């Protein structure tokens, strides 16, 4: 005798009329799927042919969803929250963990996340050649693109959580001996080609009030020199003590 039953029409449990093939009505404990495990885990709910799409309690109190594509159509999704405010809201310790197949070195599949609009450039993050990287990319992720940080204002700190109120960007690092806090490298340095370094746009058209282009301070904040605009078309070097800038010299006889 077969354990299966072929029922035509609709089957109602707790209800006498339904438009669905199976309709279970009653209290909150409507349907239970039990498996063969010690805690009744391993229960399956399959869809379609074969064993390609299913819900399964593979470990006690843990659910696996298997499908080639999962689409949540409409509304917001909340993880750790009953009130998701965006399409995906994640709340809880640890936040969001995203891994690509990159092994922590090289360039293969280095982009772990890319963000943007329905078209145009993307912001990408991941591990590139073993280094945590953020950048701008083309919409198809085939090439690098422009990246803007705080275009509307605010201060940027590198190596510090509290950038100085006197600067829009502050770099804080420890560098001794032959090391430097920051460096600018023009990788197009080739013989016979103009390879520019740094351009600074500051000052004013008339050249009034000696606008500092670059200022040099001691670690205690005392200014010891500056390169600034000394006229509408000139710059000069200002320092507290530099023999090259003295106008009156008196030679001292040797003792």
Give the integer Cα–Cα distance in Å for 89 and 177: 48
pLDDT 10s digits, 163-199: 887 788 888 888 888 888 888 888 887 888 888 999 9
Q: Quick one: pLDDT at residue 252?
A: 61
253 pLDDT band, cuts 50/70/90, is low
Q: Quick one: pLDDT at residue 112?
A: 96
19 pLDDT band, cuts 50/70/90, is confident
The long-range contacts involving 182-186, CB below 8 angstroms and separated by at least 24 positions, are none
**Residue 249 scores a pLDDT above 70:** no
Q: Quick one: pLDDT at residue 244?
A: 55
CA separation, residue 30 to residues 15, 26, 74 (Å): 12, 6, 25
**Residue 25 scores a pLDDT above 70:** yes
90 pLDDT band, cuts 50/70/90, is very high
pLDDT 10s digits, 119-169: 999 999 999 999 999 999 999 999 999 999 998 888 899 888 888 877 888
C-beta separation of 158 from 149 below 8 A: no
Q: Which of 226, 253, 224, 255 lies closest to 241 in space, CA to CA?
A: 224
Q: Quick one: pLDDT at residue 32?
A: 85
Question: Domain segments of the chain: what residues?
Answer: 11-66, 102-147, 153-199, 200-255
1 pLDDT band, cuts 50/70/90, is very low
Q: Quick one: pLDDT at residue 82?
A: 94
pLDDT 10s digits, 93-112: 988 999 999 999 999 999 99
Pairing state of beta strands 156-158 and 169-171? parallel
């Amino acid at each position: 005798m077969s354990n299966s039953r072929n029922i035509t029409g609709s089957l109602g449990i707790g209800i006498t009329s339904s438009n669905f093939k199976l309709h279970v009505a009653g209290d909150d404990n409507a349907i239970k799927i039990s498996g063969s495990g010690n805690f009744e885990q391993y229960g399956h709910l399959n869809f379609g042919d074969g064993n390609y799409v299913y819900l399964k309690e593979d470990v006690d109190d843990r659910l696996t969803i298997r499908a080639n594509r999962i689409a949540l159509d409409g509304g917001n999704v909340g993880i750790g929250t009953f009130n998701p405010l965006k399409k995906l809201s994640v709340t809880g310790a640890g936040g969001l963990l995203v891994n690509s197949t990159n092994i922590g070195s090289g360039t293969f599949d280095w982009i772990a996340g890319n963000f943007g609009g329905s078209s145009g450039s993307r912001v990408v993050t991941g591990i590139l050649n073993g280094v945590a990287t953020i950048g701008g990319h083309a919409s198809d992720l085939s090439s690098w693109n422009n990246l803007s940080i705080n275009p509307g204002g605010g201060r940027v700190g590198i190596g510090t959580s509290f950038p100085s109120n006197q600067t829009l960007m502050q770099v804080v690092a420890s560098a001794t001996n032959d090391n430097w806090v920051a460096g600018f490298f023009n990788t197009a340095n080739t013989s016979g080609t103009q390879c520019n370094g740094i351009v600074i746009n500051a000052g004013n058209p008339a050249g009034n009030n000696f606008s500092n282009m670059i200022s040099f301070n001691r670690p205690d904040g005392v200014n010891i020199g500056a390169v600034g605009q000394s006229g509408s078309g000139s710059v000069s070097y200002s320092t507290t003590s530099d023999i090259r800038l003295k106008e009156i010299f008196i030679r001292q006889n040797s003792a």
